[in-house]
């Protein structure tokens, strides 16, 4: 049996799971592919760190050259995370003609231009299935299975942490802080969860999916991002009264040659298929012009599901190394002209949910609706909660008809300055097909 030697950069959650998978399922993989993938070296930061998974200490190193300069190693798996030094190591491995597999969405989304163009120019192999959607085979689906389609839109629930929090809030009536604490206790949220809560992790992922869908590289900084850190339980409850569920959506859409790429919380109709994606599960709802709608669902994070994706790329890398085949499909290229076709959020149109905290006085509603009317924003429904003892301000909740975001921002800015309106005005976009 021919052996293929692998170097792992990183032995954390994902690195250990890849090691475990390749150890436990080696025979299975060898029988299916005719090759035995063998881990030759593992780069870590700290050799003395206590590791929950037993590993021969001779395999561990803190010197990246032991992997990058090792001629025996033909596949390098970057499972360290972060931009530096991961970018340098990936470029160095590629330059040396090694096949590279990475789970690093942040790096590809922020710095992918350089990596993707090197891989295209030199016809090298870069697998990044694990960078989006954990165990869900979304990259291969976008890159290969749907290649015949023009992709009209992708709507993703792309982050398990935020989906877990929103599900707990909605189904158990927990406030945001309590739901976040629970997610951290259960290991679904990091000690510093800001990348997830602020929507940045979802934005990294949708930038890569949009790049594959529209066939040009869309860097992270071209994605409009809003997280769930300002969502309150009261908004989830009001949304439910109107027949909606709040989810953090990652959206990529094409319409008449213009693109919308964005991440934000959204009200989605209760009966929409994406409302059944609960807790830490992820899903990607994709529409192609010929395939119609498809839904990919599964665990979007965690060592084991992510290792499943890494190993699928390792097998593709073996094919590339042994046959030279890398498929016909190129990696997304940076094209400034095409980036100009991304529609700024101010020009996008949505229906909206608004919540104002306003004094319960005659004429307040007409002041608010007067400003909305001035900007051509028409109200579809209103709920005004009656006087509450001891409370100065009461919620007024509105759903609007379709309106341009730019006009909404101006109107809400004006409304928030009214002396009868207290605190921040809440705005959540409504997602409808
Ligand atoms: N965790 C998930 O569920 C998940 C899912 C999908 C994708 N990903 C992606 O997978 C990658 C790895 O995530 P993870 O959760 O496995 O990370 P992690 O648990 O923090 O592990 C990182 C590993 O890389 C090593 N490392 C980090 N910086 C290093 C450096 N400068 N030099 C040498 N070694 C270094 C660490 O060494 P020490 O062990 O010595 O500290 C550790 O073994 C990230 O890009 C992440 O976005 C993760």
Ligand 1 center to 79 CA (angstroms): 5
Is the distance from CB of 121 to CB of 397 less than 8 angstroms?
no
Ligand 1 center to 266 CA (angstroms): 31
What local confidence, expressed as pLDDT, does residue 392 receive? 78
DSSP annotation string for 373-397: HHTTPPEEEEEE----TT-SEEEEE
Report how far residue 199's alpha carbon sits from residue 202's, in angstroms, rounded to the nearest whole number. 5
393: phi then psi, degrees, rounded to nearest 5: -120, 145
Report how far residue 131's alpha carbon sits from residue 309's, in angstroms, rounded to the nearest whole number. 9
CA distances (Å), origin 159, targets 176, 203, 212, 329: 16, 10, 19, 27
Residues with CB under 6 A from ligand 1: 10-15, 43-46, 49, 79-81, 85, 103-105, 130, 134, 301-302, 306
Mutate to test the pocket of ligand 1, among 12, 66, 110, 127 (most ligand atoms within 8 A of CB): 12
What local confidence, expressed as pLDDT, does residue 201 receive? 98
**Residue showing tokens 């799971």:** 17
Catalytic residue among 143, 205, 426, 427: 205
Tens-binned pLDDT, residue by residue, of the chain (433 aa): 899 999 999 999 999 999 999 999 999 999 999 999 999 999 999 999 999 999 999 999 999 999 999 999 999 999 999 999 999 999 999 999 999 999 999 999 999 999 999 999 999 999 999 999 999 999 999 999 999 999 999 999 999 999 999 999 999 999 999 999 999 999 999 999 999 999 999 999 999 999 999 999 999 999 999 999 999 999 999 999 999 999 999 999 999 899 999 999 999 999 999 999 999 999 999 999 999 999 999 999 999 999 999 999 999 999 999 999 988 899 999 999 999 999 999 999 999 999 999 998 889 999 999 999 999 999 999 998 766 666 678 999 999 999 999 999 999 999 999 999 998 999 999 998 8
What local confidence, expressed as pLDDT, does residue 216 receive? 97
What local confidence, expressed as pLDDT, does residue 390 receive? 60
Ligand 1 center to 16 CA (angstroms): 10
**Catalytic status, residue 5:** no
- What ligand 1 atom has the least distance to the C-alpha of 62? 33
Ligand 1 center to 200 CA (angstroms): 18
- 155 bridge partner residues: 251, 285
Report how far residue 151's alpha carbon sits from residue 267's, in angstroms, rounded to the nearest whole number. 23
Both tokens assigned to 46: 């700290």
For the entire predicted model, the pTM comes to 0.97
Question: If you take atom 3 of ligand 1, which residue's CA is the nearest one?
Answer: 302
Report how far residue 9's alpha carbon sits from residue 15's, in angstroms, rounded to the nearest whole number. 8
What local confidence, expressed as pLDDT, does residue 386 receive? 67
Question: If you take atom 20 of ligand 1, which residue's CA is the nearest one?
Answer: 12
- The separation between CA 235 and the C-alpha centre of its own chain, rounded to angstroms, equals 23
What local confidence, expressed as pLDDT, does residue 1 receive? 86
Mutate to test the pocket of ligand 1, among 8, 41, 45, 207 (most ligand atoms within 8 A of CB): 45
Question: If you take atom 5 of ligand 1, which residue's CA is the nearest one?
Answer: 301
Ligand 1 center to 128 CA (angstroms): 15
- What ligand 1 atom has the least distance to the C-alpha of 49? 40
CA distances (Å), origin 48, targets 44, 146, 207, 416: 10, 46, 37, 55
Ligand 1 center to 242 CA (angstroms): 42
What local confidence, expressed as pLDDT, does residue 361 receive? 87
- What ligand 1 atom has the least distance to the C-alpha of 107? 45
- What ligand 1 atom has the least distance to the C-alpha of 51? 39
Task: Give the burial string for 19-28 (b: 16+ CB within 10 Å, else e).
Answer: bebbeeeeee
- What ligand 1 atom has the least distance to the C-alpha of 104? 45
């Amino acid at each position: 049996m021919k052996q293929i030697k692998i170097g792992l950069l990183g032995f954390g959650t994902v690195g250990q799971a890849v090691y475990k998978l390749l150890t436990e399922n080696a025979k299975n993989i060898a029988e299916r592919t005719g090759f035995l993938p063998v881990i030759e070296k593992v780069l870590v930061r700290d050799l003395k760190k206590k590791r929950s998974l037993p590993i021969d200490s001779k395999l561990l190193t803190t010197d990246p050259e032991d992997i990058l300069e090792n001629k025996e190693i033909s596949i390098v798996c970057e499972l360290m995370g972060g931009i530096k030094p991961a970018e340098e190591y990936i470029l160095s491995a590629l330059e040396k003609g090694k096949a590279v597999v990475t789970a690093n969405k942040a790096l590809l989304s922020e710095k992918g231009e350089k990596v993707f163009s090197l891989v295209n120019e030199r016809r090298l192999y870069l697998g990044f299935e694990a960078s989006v959607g954990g165990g869900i085979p979304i990259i291969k689906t976008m890159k290969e299975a749907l290649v015949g389609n023009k992709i009209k839109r992708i709507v993703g629930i792309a982050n398990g942490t935020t989906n877990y929090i929103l599900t707990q809030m909605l189904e158990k009536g927990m406030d945001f802080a309590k739901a976040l604490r629970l997610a951290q206790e259960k290991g679904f949220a990091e000690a510093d969860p800001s990348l997830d809560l602020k929507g940045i992790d979802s934005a990294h992922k949708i930038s890569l999916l949009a790049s594959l869908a529209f066939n040009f590289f869309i860097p992270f900084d071209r994605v409009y991002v809003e997280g769930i850190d300002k969502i309150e339980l009261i908004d989830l409850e009001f949304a439910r009264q109107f027949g909606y569920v709040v989810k953090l959506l990652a959206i990529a859409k094409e319409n008449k040659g213009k693109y919308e790429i964005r991440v934000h919380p959204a009200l989605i109709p209760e009966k929409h298929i994406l409302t059944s994606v609960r807790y830490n599960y992820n899903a990607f709802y994709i529409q192609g012009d010929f395939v119609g709608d498809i839904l990919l669902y599964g665990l979007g994070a965690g060592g084991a599901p992510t290792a499943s994706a890494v190993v699928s790329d390792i097998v593709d890398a073996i094919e590339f190394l042994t046959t030279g085949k890398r498929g016909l499909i190129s990696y997304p290229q940076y094209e400034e002209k095409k980036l100009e076709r991304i529609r700024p959020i101010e020009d996008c149109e949505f229906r909206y949910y608004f919540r104002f905290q306003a004094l319960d006085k005659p004429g307040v509603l007409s002041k608010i609706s007067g400003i909305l009317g001035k900007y051509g924003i028409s109200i579809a429904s209103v709920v005004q909660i009656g006087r509450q003892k001891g409370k100065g301000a009461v919620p007024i909740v509105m759903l609007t008809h379709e309106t341009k975001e730019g006009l909404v921002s101006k109107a809400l800015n004006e409304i928030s300055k009214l002396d009868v309106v207290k605190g921040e005005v809440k705005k959540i976009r409504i997602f409808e097909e």
